[in-house]
A and B are shown apart, each in its own frame.
Chain A
């Protein structure tokens, strides 16, 4: 049982490049989230998806787009990466009963 799987684990981008962070869960959860974690700022919500086919903005959506491809997968895209997007990105899926979050291992992204 893999839980929540994120790829890649590490990535270095040049300013202006684009990339997609992938997230997949095998727990049949409806809700999935993307967060970024920066030192001293906790986890900030970028986008979330309450169910397949729906997405909503979180606290810091600017510079990102998301796709909820199906119930399992929720991807995060940076169209034109900026140094301010250097961060650790976490994907989470939410248990439908207790609403407990299960996290992926994170993607450490550096934009130079």
Chain B
């Protein structure tokens, strides 16, 4: 059974600091996705990682994928309050057809 685990589950950090969120998954996959969810809202796509070694950056966020280690990281540089949200990783696996499984999410709070 595929498991997608994120850590930490909760993260409170000061503005200006750096931190990394980790996403581990338990089966082979070359495709991993990161999403952001603001309170009471839907999910929006942040990054699409489609191969081993893929690295994507947008503003203060950078995501990477190591398919051999079954690990993706979301690195936050010099956090600002606007980054406060819940971040989800999702893994796509082939099980008959492609299936999209989400991690438990990391709730990030950036303190001014």
Binding site for B on A (CB under 8 A): 31, 33, 35, 40-45, 48, 50, 54, 56, 58-59, 90, 92, 94, 98-106
Contact = CB atoms under 8 A, between A and B. Distances in A.
A104 B100 contact: no
Contacts of B22: none
A3 to B, nearest CB: 10
Given A43-B102, A45-B100, A101 B33 contact: yes
Q: Max chain B CB contacts within 10 Å: which of A44, A92, A101, A103?
A: A101
Contact of A42 (B45, B100, B104): B104
Q: Is the interface of B mostly helix, strand, loop or mixed?
A: strand
B69 interface: no
Contacts of B88: 42-43
Given A48-B99, A99-B31, A105 B42 contact: yes
B97 A56 contact: yes
Given A42-B102, A99-B31, A101-B43, 8 more contacts: A31-B98, A41-B104, A45-B101, A56-B97, A58-B99, A99-B100, A101-B100, A103-B43
Contact of B97 (A35, A50, A103, A106): A50
Contacts of B6: 42
A31 B31 CA distance: 16
Contacts of B33: 99-101
A31 B98 CA distance: 9
A100 B33 CA distance: 7
Nearest to B42: A103
